[in-house]
Amino acid sequence: KAGVTQTPRYLIKTRGQQVTLSCSPISGHRSVSWYQQTPGQGLQFLFEYFSETQRNKGNFPGRFSGRQFSNSRSEMNVSTLELGDSALYLCASSYQREGGYTFGSGTRLTVV
């Protein structure tokens, strides 16, 4: 079956702009999580959605937001981009946590 799909793979944005990233989970997975990966901070949890509801949120400013649609697809949005937002953004989906989380290849965002 298809894995977790993230689009686009690469993005270059200018400071102050906003960006929307997309994630399509594995079919049947209703939980979608987002993580930010940087060389300095490693993998950090952004937020998690289940059945269109945000259940958990990490310690990121309000500029980072997300949503989930009825088909479980999820988007995350970053407004007023800063240079420090440059990172690899990973999406993960799961059916049950005991089964673990399946990650996408990520979207690499570069802010210039």
Partner 1 sequence: AQRVTQPEKLLSVFKGAPVELKCNYSYSGSPELFWYVQYSRQRLQLLLRHISRESIKGFTADLNKGETSFHLKKPFAQEEDSAMYYCALATNFGNEKLTFGTGTRLTIIP
> Can residue 85 be called a binding residue for partner 1 (CB under 8 A)?
no
The span from the CA of 5 to the CA of 7, in Å, is: 7
What is each CA distance from 25 to 1, 31, 53, 88, 105, in whole angstroms?
11, 8, 15, 17, 12
> Can residue 77 be called a binding residue for partner 1 (CB under 8 A)?
no
Residues 29-68 that bind partner 1 (CB under 8 A): 31, 33, 35, 42-45, 48, 50, 55-56, 58
38 Cβ contact list (under 8 Å, min separation 6): 44, 86, 87, 88
Chosen residue from 19, 64, 87, 104 binding partner 1 by CB under 8 A: 104
Binding interface with partner 1 (CB under 8 A): 3, 31, 33, 35, 42-45, 48, 50, 55-56, 58, 90, 92, 94, 97-98, 100-106
